[in-house]
Every structure is written in structure tokens, then in C-alpha cells.
Amino acid sequence: MKLRLGGPAFALAMIALFVALSGVAVASGIVPLARHAITAGTATNALKLGGKTPTQIKAGLRGVQGPAGSQGPAGPAGPAGPKGDAGPAGAAGPQGVQGVQGLKGDVGAGLKIIGTVASVGALPATGTTGDAYLVGTNLYVWTGSAWTNAGPVQGPKGATGPTGAQGVQGVQGQQGIQGVPGTAAVTVHTQSYSLASNGEQLFTVSCAAGQKAVGGGFDSNGGVFNFDTKPTGPDDGWSIDLANPDPVTDSGTVYAICLG
């Protein structure tokens, strides 16, 4: 078995004890030295422990890390965050299929031609929706808040139709009484005219002196039509009220058939 000797402090303590037993004078100098040795040894041992007590060192010791424990339960949901910015618009989708046709609507208000006035200013202040008046060759219609020009009511002149079949000869009438021999001759008097687009004008053709008008008429290079045709007051000529619905100026001839 090995004998373990103490450190320097132990040796000094043993020397001090020996001297003390030998004499008081020597012991008085040795004892403080022994105390210093013990103190010095204690300080050296304290430095080796890092300035900590054994209890403190024990508390600071840490063993090998153990295995990870099982996952704990989920915590409560946190408060809702602020609303994010709107994302970019997506691309347009494909066109959908055509829907089914809807039901047929109700019949609209009809058109009712009330009459004819000389000018737009002569139209009534108000009317019923669908009321219409002729102003010259144009038709003005009440639309609910105002009179609206619907344009000319007469279309362009159509082509001449085919000649109809000859009718059955009628029964011969009774012979009339013989008239007074006359000296008058039938003549036709003419007058050229020109009528602007959408214009209206009264034209009169006079007979020769002493003649009486028995008829009259007109021709045209366009769609001109007449509102009225009649002999003059003293029957010495023929008057015709003509209108031009075409977008250009039309012209022609007015004539009177005179007798005498």
C-alpha cells in the first residue's frame, strides 16, 4: 500500500509542530509561517476549482443530452393579419354559348295620319304617340315629346304597268238630240316647270282668249306628284299643286286642255 504525503502546507504544519515542541522562541516565528502555508495551500486549491464550492460545481455539471421528447399540442391561433393587396386580374375566359331566344315583345303603337298642315309651325303643340301629319311631302310623327320628320311619304315613280285586257263592249246607248253646231276647236296649252328638292308649288296654264279649260295634267322626269288639280275660277285655265319628294330638282310640263 502506498503512503500518500500531504502537500507543502502539510509539511510546514508538521515542522511548526516540531519546533513548538522544541522551544517557545522558535515556535513563535514558525507558527505564522505554518498558518500562511495553510492559507496559501487553500488558495491554490480554490484556484484549481475555479473559485467555486463543490456544491456549486455539482449544480453546474450537465449529463449527456437525452432523446427529444414528443411534440406538444398545437398552440391557439394567432390574431388575423392585415388584408393583403389585390392580385393581378386573370386572363379573360372563353366566350360562353349563346342563350335561348327571348319571348316576342308586345305590338308597338301604330301610325295614325291625322291630316295635312301647311308648315311645321302649324303642327299642334302636342299629340298622341303615333299621330302623324303631312307637311308638304314629308310626314311628321309625334314621338311622345316632339314632332319628328319621318321623311317623304311617296316613293320614287314606278315603271309603267302592262296594258290590261280589253273589256267587253257595252250596250249601245240611245241617240241623243243633235246639238247646236259649234265653231270651237280643242287646243292644248303647255308651260314648263322646275321644282326643287322637297319643294311644293302651284302652277297654272292659261287658255287662249275666249276659251274654256276642260282638263289638264302634267309630266315629270322624276317622282313629282300632285296634291290638287282644278280649273281656275273663270274657267280660263288649269291649276295643279305639285310636290317634289326627290333629293334633286325635277322638271317637266304642265298642260291645260282648252275648248273654244
DSSP letter for 3, please: P
Residue 22, domain member (yes or no): yes
Q: Are residues 202 and 244 in the same domain?
A: yes
What integer pLDDT is reported at residue 137 of this predicted model?
Answer: 86
What integer pLDDT is reported at residue 184 of this predicted model?
Answer: 59
Residue 46, domain member (yes or no): yes
| Total structural domains within the chain | 3
Indicate the pLDDT class of residue 34, thresholds 50, 70 and 90: very low
Summarize the confidence of residues 237-260 as an average pLDDT. Answer: 94
Average model confidence (pLDDT) across the chain: 80
Summarize the confidence of residues 200-204 as an average pLDDT. Answer: 95
Residue 180, domain member (yes or no): no
Q: Are residues 254 and 190 in the same domain?
A: yes
Please write the tens of the pLDDT for every residue from 114-171.
Answer: 889 999 899 998 888 889 999 988 999 998 889 999 888 776 677 888 988 888 888 8
Indicate the pLDDT class of residue 44, thresholds 50, 70 and 90: low
CA atoms within 13 A on the CB side of 60: 8
Q: Comparing 243 with 52, which gets the higher pLDDT?
A: 243
Residue 3 scores a pLDDT above 80: no
| Rounded Cα distance, 43 and 52, in Å | 12
Q: Which of 26, 125, 166 is nearest to 34 (CA)?
A: 26
Specify whether the backbone of 122 is left (phi greater than 0), alpha (psi in -120 to 50) or beta. Answer: alpha
Residue 252 scores a pLDDT above 50: yes
Q: Are residues 139 and 194 in the same domain?
A: no
What integer pLDDT is reported at residue 213 of this predicted model?
Answer: 92
Amino acid at 116: T
Which residues, in sequence order, are bridge partners of residue 140? 133, 149
Summarize the confidence of residues 205-209 as an average pLDDT. Answer: 93
Residue 232, domain member (yes or no): yes
Domain that holds residue 34: 8-52
Residue 194, domain member (yes or no): yes
Residue 31 scores a pLDDT above 80: no
Please write the tens of the pLDDT for every residue from 59-105.
Answer: 777 777 888 888 888 888 888 888 888 888 888 889 888 888 888 76
Residue 103, domain member (yes or no): no
